[in-house]
Copies of this chain bind each other. A is one copy, B any other.
């Protein structure tokens, strides 16, 4: 299936890094996932003041080791893939790039290493490893249903936006600046906190009229949560589970191709 103009080592490298069908490919992916999880753990631990003070230097060294490993992996991916640019500008290509940049950026900007947490996005690769095909089918079905309901959700969210603008401003007028509702932006924040039924309680109405408007806002929020739920449920009932191939395109490393697909629908490469 691999074209002849590709040397054997590159095709082999490709199988290990991108595919999860062979033993080596699966092993590579599992080690990679553990490394990603580990590096995320390190970033999290470093943010805890007590731990940073005691073991800061050690953590920073481990961080560098992970970053160097991920950099090597990134370079190998560019080499192994046939159309490098297709990979570099694909979703996973960008995520892989973002995962290594912050550590280097930290030389220039203090605190930039916290951006390393975007490595978490790499964890989404997990669906490739464990019974990949099945989970990608499920993920794809979810994505399709959400896509189909996208415009309805957008109409809904826009209406909610107008609603919180008005509710927030009314509350600002009712409660006044001397209380919790110090400005319209803060009041809009309160309206969102209330309408979504989050209810922190950092900003609460103190006047009877304010509490009355809060009551209406809460009942509204309780009732309109039914709308996105209804939209998504109906779309899901319409979407059927789609079986997708476990093949990964050698051209651009994209997944989720149809079972009967012979060529990659993104770059035209033979699968």
Specify which chain B residues have a CB less than 8 angstroms from the CB of A142 in the assembled complex: 152, 155-156, 227, 231
Identical copies in the complex: 4
A165 proximal to B (CB < 8 A) = yes
Specify which chain B residues have a CB less than 8 angstroms from the CB of A114 in the assembled complex: 169, 172-173, 184
Number of A positions contacting B (CB below 8 A): 86
Q: In the complex, A237→B221 CA distance in Å?
A: 22
A44 proximal to B (CB < 8 A) = yes
Chain A 119-156: CB-based contact to B (< 8 A → 1; otherwise 0): 01101101100000011001101100110000111111
A223 nearest CB across to chain B (Å): 5
Contact of A198 among B49, B199, B227 (CB under 8 A): B199
Instruction: List which A2-42 residues lie within 8 A (CB) of chain B.
Output: 40
A56 nearest CB across to chain B (Å): 13
A107 nearest CB across to chain B (Å): 18
Contact of A201 among B44, B199, B231 (CB under 8 A): B199
A233 proximal to B (CB < 8 A) = yes
Specify which chain B residues have a CB less than 8 angstroms from the CB of A225 in the assembled complex: 222, 225, 228-229
Q: In the complex, A198→B191 CA distance in Å?
A: 12
Instruction: List which A177-225 residues lie within 8 A (CB) of chain B.
Output: 177, 182-186, 188-189, 192-202, 204, 208, 211, 214-215, 218-219, 221-223, 225
Q: In the complex, A192→B211 CA distance in Å?
A: 10
Residues B199 and A186 in contact, CB atoms below 8 Å apart: no
Specify which chain B residues have a CB less than 8 angstroms from the CB of A117 in the assembled complex: 165-166, 168-170, 184
A154 nearest CB across to chain B (Å): 8
A98 nearest CB across to chain B (Å): 11
A-to-B contact residues, CB < 8 Å: 40, 43-44, 47-49, 111, 114-115, 117-118, 120-121, 123-124, 126-127, 134-135, 138-139, 141-142, 145-146, 151-162, 165-166, 168-170, 172-173, 177, 182-186, 188-189, 192-202, 204, 208, 211, 214-215, 218-219, 221-223, 225-237
What are 9 of the A-B contact pairs (CB < 8 Å)? A117-B166, A120-B162, A135-B154, A146-B227, A153-B223, A157-B223, A160-B219, A196-B219, A231-B236
Inter-chain pairs besides A44-B188, A47-B172, 5 sampled, C-beta below 8 Å: A47-B185, A197-B222, A201-B201, A226-B232, A230-B232
